[in-house]
Structure 1
Amino acid sequence: MITDFPEAPLPLLDGTETTAELAEFGGDPVIPKGLRRTVFPVITKEDTFHMLRSQRSSPEKVVEEFAERYRSYVGAHSALPVASGTASLHMALVGAGVMPGDEVIVPAFTFIATAQAVVAAKAVPVFVDIDPHTYCMAPERAEAAITERTKAIMPVHVHGLPADVPALRGVCERNGTVLVEDASHAHSAGIGDSMCGSLGTAAGQSLMADKNFPLGGEGGIAFFSSDEAHQRAVSCLARNGIDYRMSWIVASFGTSQLQRLGYYDAIRARNAAELSRALDETGLFTPPYVPEGYTHSYNMYRIGLRPEAVGLEDLPVWKVKEAVHELLVAEGVPAREWQNTPIPCHLPFTHRHGFGNGYPFTLNPEAARDHTPQDFPVVRAMLESTLVLCRELRSPVEHERLQRYAAAFRKIAKRPDAIRTLVNERNYPRPPHQEAARLG
């Protein structure tokens, strides 16, 4: 029988891990091979029993039950369960009143679905730079991009940190636009007592299986602040014959998983806090920034580099990043890049074929601009100087594993000489944004 149960427990730290030779240079890795896999989501007998019981109800009722429970949890006015995160963003935009040819301001750093959903709504995405601390949309950049055809601003709560919604809401109020959230990373994240998904006119959220709140496969949900916005989205589906229905199997799994979401959130917050303390001690690495009063859900955990803190300021930061990436992976830490160039530099937005013959970009040619990475200096600088952990802070990640992640960062920070050696030997050819666009 195939099982996801670990083959063996991770050994406890014995104190020698941070002073041993780096694995890249022949030493033992901090996390041994064969013990590196993390499993998520957790599937329990309660999930199985709930899905079996759900077969006694109609598919529509199962989906409605899930949507209502999750809507109540988020605190939104109304909800529309759909088949994917992209579908949820599409419906959020339609519900907010976005029409063909309208402009929707989106951040240049996000997953490509954010901008693709704007095209699905037959509108034109207008890309802006991000805040250098939060990596979310910069409100001043959004306001500078507004034209008479701007209908919506769509910030992304990237990696699970809420965007500066108070400032962006002010931008919308001053300019007569609506705020639509991309909350696909932000399950249980929020500002004060308000949860992401309930902060704007509408919101879209992915519920696919690798998110912090996982459903059984692909799924999404759109939230609305009024009956009018909700009805707009529902009418669009009926009028155009679009089948975005959520599977009852997906919804059933989500209903039972929702009961454990608070536990997942607490474990992830604890793990993030402990790892952040460890990174602060290294000098080389910096943890994510979280403004006062914000709840970060850590769908991803982005780590910054400070080469100057360890005497590597003479090296290009992107080369230091490449070397550190190699060293971390060799130690068993699954660090990733997660995007290598701004979204407007990906093929759908450089070629702009759209639905054919350039539609919907042809509806508003002035808004359809050619971009290079140099147009978004903050995004480019972030991509050159940061790495990401994706699933490695979630339950059921063992505490021993988290301690070993921290030990690996400490181990590498103690060896700037090894980083310099890799940079010199590998001769990394080009910054990430000069390579072919990659997702994830």
Structure 2
Amino acid sequence: MITDFPAKPLPLPDPAETGAELAAFGGGAIIPKELRRTVFPVITKEDVFNLMLAQRAKPERVVADFAEAYRSYVGAGYALPTASGTSSLHLALVGAGVQPGDEVIVPAFTFIATAQAVVAAHAVPVFVDIDPKTYCMDPAAAAAAITGRTRAIMPVHVHGLPADVPALRALADSHGIALVEDASHAHSAKIGDQVAGSFGDAAGQSLMADKNFPLGGEGGIAFFKDGASHQRAVDYLERHGIDYGMSWVAAAFGASQLKRLPYYDEVRARNAALLGEALEGTGLFHAPYVPQGHTHAYNMYRITLTPDAIGLGDLPVYAVKEAVHELLVAEGVPAREWQNTPIPCHLPFRHRGGFGNGYPFSLNPEAVRDHRPEDFPVTLGMLDSTLVLCRELRAPVEYERALRYADAFTKVARRPDAIRKLVTDGSYRRPYEKAARLG
């Protein structure tokens, strides 16, 4: 029988290992290959029983009950459960009043679904750069991009850190346009006591199985501030005959997972703090920046490198990052890039075929730009100098894994000579010079 149960426990850290030879150079790995898998979501008997009992109810009742429970948790006015995160973003835009040919401002750094949802709403995405500390949409860049045809600003709470909502809300209000959140990374993320998904006029959120709040397979949910926005989205589905409905199986699984979400949140926060403390002691690595009053959900954990702190400032930072990436992976840390080029430089937004004959871009050709990566210098700098842990801080029973990740970063940072050798002997390229990829 296939099982997710580990064959044996991960050993507790041994301080001597951080001074041993790097795994990439023949030493032992901090995390052995056979123990590198993390398991999530955790499936319990409660999940199974809930799925079985849900078969007695009408499917639409199961979905409606889940949506209401999660809407209450988030604190949004209205909710509309959907089949995916992209469909939830589409409906959030429609509910906010976005019309064909309108302009929607989105960040150049996000998952491609943010911009694809704008196109699905028959509008034109207008891309802007990000803040150099939060990696979320830069409010000043958004302000500079507003025109007479801008209908909405769509910040992304990237990796689970809420964007600068107060500044963006003020900007939207001053121009009479909508604020639509992409909260797909931001389950339980907060500013003060307010939860992401309830900040804007509308919001979309992915609930797929690899998110911090997972449903059974694919799923999403759109939130709306008022009844008129919610009704606008409902009418749109009926008018166009679109089935974006959530599966009752996904909803039933999500209903029991929702009860454990606060527990998962605490585990991630604990592990993020533990790892952050270790990173700051290395000189080379730095934890994600979190503004005061913000609660980071840590759907992903983006780590910044400062090579000059360990005597590598003469080397290109992107090359140091690539070498460090190789060393970390050899130690058993599943670090990765997660995006390597700005979203407007991906094929759908370079060729702009849209729905055919350039639609909907042809509705507003003045909003269309032929972007180069260099148009977004902050995004490029971030991609050059950061690595990501995607889902590895949330396994609730593996405190020792977080400790071992910390030791692996410490071990690598202690070997600037090895990093320099890899950079000198290698032929590394900047991330955007490689084939564009997602995730």
Interval containing the TM-score (normalised by the shorter chain): over 0.9
CA distance in 2, matches of 1:269, 1:11: 22
1:137–1:155 CA contact under 8 A, matched in 2: yes
CA distance in 1, matches of 2:405, 2:30: 8
What residue in structure 2 maps to residue 223 of structure 1? 223
Deviations 1:316-347 (CA, angstroms, capped at 9, x unpaired): 00000000000000000000110000000000
What residue in structure 2 maps to residue 417 of structure 1? 417
Where do residues 17-416 of structure 1 align in structure 2 (5 Å cutoff)?
A: 17-396=17-396, 398-416=398-416
1:39–1:396 CA contact under 8 A, matched in 2: no
Deviations 1:149-203 (CA, angstroms, capped at 9, x unpaired): 0000000000000000000001111111110000000000010011000000000
CA distance in 1, matches of 2:178, 2:92: 11
CA distance in 1, matches of 2:194, 2:167: 15
Displacement, 1:396?
Answer: 2.4
Amino acid at match of 2:113: A
What residue in structure 2 maps to residue 437 of structure 1? 436
Name which of structure 1's ranges 121-130 and 13-22 shifts more when overlaid on structure 2. Answer: 13-22
CA distance in 1, matches of 2:190, 2:134: 14
Q: What is the DSSP-based 3-state SS (H/G/I as helix, E as strand, rest coil) of the residue aligned with 2:381?
A: helix
Amino acid at match of 1:172: A
CA distance in 1, matches of 2:136, 2:290: 12
| TM-score normalised by structure 2 residue count | 1.00
Deviations 1:90-135 (CA, angstroms, capped at 9, x unpaired): 0000000000000000000000000000000000000000000000
Q: Where do 5+ consecutive residues of structure 2 fail to align?
A: none
CA distance in 1, matches of 2:213, 2:205: 10
Deviations 1:206-264 (CA, angstroms, capped at 9, x unpaired): 00000000000000000000000000000000000000000000000000000000000
CA distance in 1, matches of 2:316, 2:95: 46
CA distance in 1, matches of 2:15, 2:225: 53
Q: What is the DSSP-based 3-state SS (H/G/I as helix, E as strand, rest coil) of the residue aligned with 1:418?
A: helix
Q: What is the DSSP-based 3-state SS (H/G/I as helix, E as strand, rest coil) of the residue aligned with 1:21?
A: coil
Q: What is the DSSP-based 3-state SS (H/G/I as helix, E as strand, rest coil) of the residue aligned with 1:18?
A: helix
CA distance in 2, matches of 1:13, 1:227: 54
CA distance in 2, matches of 1:266, 1:403: 16
2:95–2:233 CA contact under 8 A, matched in 1: yes
Q: What is the DSSP-based 3-state SS (H/G/I as helix, E as strand, rest coil) of the residue aligned with 2:98?
A: coil
Q: What is the DSSP-based 3-state SS (H/G/I as helix, E as strand, rest coil) of the residue aligned with 2:126?
A: strand
2:38–2:395 CA contact under 8 A, matched in 1: no
Q: What is the DSSP-based 3-state SS (H/G/I as helix, E as strand, rest coil) of the residue aligned with 1:402?
A: helix
Q: Among all aligned residue pairs of Structure 1 and Structure 2, give the percentage whose two residues are the same amino acid.
A: 74
2:95–2:232 CA contact under 8 A, matched in 1: yes
CA distance in 1, matches of 2:15, 2:319: 30
Q: What is the DSSP-based 3-state SS (H/G/I as helix, E as strand, rest coil) of the residue aligned with 2:15?
A: coil
Displacement, 1:397?
Answer: 5.1
Deviations 1:42-91 (CA, angstroms, capped at 9, x unpaired): 00000000000000000000000000000000000000000000000000
Displacement, 1:368?
Answer: 1.1
CA distance in 1, matches of 2:387, 2:103: 32
1:132–1:382 CA contact under 8 A, matched in 2: yes
CA distance in 2, matches of 1:376, 1:15: 42
Deviations 1:343-385 (CA, angstroms, capped at 9, x unpaired): 0000000000000000000000011111011000000000000
Q: What is the DSSP-based 3-state SS (H/G/I as helix, E as strand, rest coil) of the residue aligned with 1:265?
A: helix
2:71–2:77 CA contact under 8 A, matched in 1: yes
CA distance in 1, matches of 2:67, 2:257: 13
1:159–1:298 CA contact under 8 A, matched in 2: yes
Amino acid at match of 2:237: L
1:172–1:178 CA contact under 8 A, matched in 2: yes
Displacement, 1:427?
Answer: 2.0
CA distance in 2, matches of 1:13, 1:226: 51
1:84–1:220 CA contact under 8 A, matched in 2: yes
CA distance in 1, matches of 2:9, 2:318: 35
CA distance in 2, matches of 1:184, 1:370: 27
Displacement, 1:14?
Answer: 2.1
1:38–1:397 CA contact under 8 A, matched in 2: no
2:124–2:360 CA contact under 8 A, matched in 1: yes
Amino acid at match of 1:190: K
Tell me the number of residue pairs that the alignment of Structure 1 and Structure 2 aligns.
439
2:165–2:199 CA contact under 8 A, matched in 1: yes
Q: What is the DSSP-based 3-state SS (H/G/I as helix, E as strand, rest coil) of the residue aligned with 2:281?
A: helix
Ranges of 4+ aligned residues in structure 1 off by more than 2 Å = none
